[in-house]
Amino acid sequence: MASVHISLNVADLDRSIDFYRRFLGEPSKRRPDYAKFVGADPELHLALQPGRVGRSAGSLSHLGIRVASAARVRDWKEALEQRGLSTEEEKREACCYALQEKFWVTDPDGNRWEVYTVLEDIDQKADPAMSCCKPATESAPSC
């Protein structure tokens, strides 16, 4: 079985650990200069380490967790809000050649996570005026 591993440089390790603890649960490994979260649902290996943070050409657009249904999207949203995380809700939206139901959360370094489900594949990318797959500070989709 394969799994996804993501490593993020973070400006404030403790602040990021607090965010990801509420987003994904307890870290499986914690050191003074490192934290790792390993989850089964979703299957994800996320490492955090102090480092230079900033937006430059070719930097990360966003991260996502695909769930099985719109009901699971709503379950995730409710659970994260109960843990004190702010969410940006987006109901049904055309994004990345798919009709999706999703919402967003943003970590302390500005990394945006979407929790989504694909309702159906479509032939159009997205309306450029929509907020599909874009960082909060940009005005055009980056899909």
Q: What is the pLDDT of residues 16-26, one digit of tens each?
A: 999 999 999 99
Domain boundaries defined on the chain: 1-50, 62-129
Structure confidence by residue, pLDDT tens digits, 76-116 = 999 999 999 999 987 777 776 778 899 999 999 999 999 98
Give the fold, CATH level 3, of 1-50: 2,3-Dihydroxybiphenyl 1,2-Dioxygenase; domain 1 (3.10.180)
Are residues 138 and 132 in contact, defined by beta-carbon separation less than 8 angstroms?
A: no
Residue 140 predicted with pLDDT over 50 = no
pLDDT at 118 over 70: yes
Distance CA 14, CA 33 (A): 9
Backbone angles phi, psi at 87, to 5 degrees: -120, 150
Paired sense of beta strands 98-106 and 43-50, if any: unpaired
CATH topology classification for 62-129: 2,3-Dihydroxybiphenyl 1,2-Dioxygenase; domain 1 (3.10.180)
pLDDT in the model for residue 57: 45
Domains 1-50 and 62-129 share a fold: yes
- What pairing do the DSSP bridges indicate for beta strands 34-40 and 43-50? antiparallel
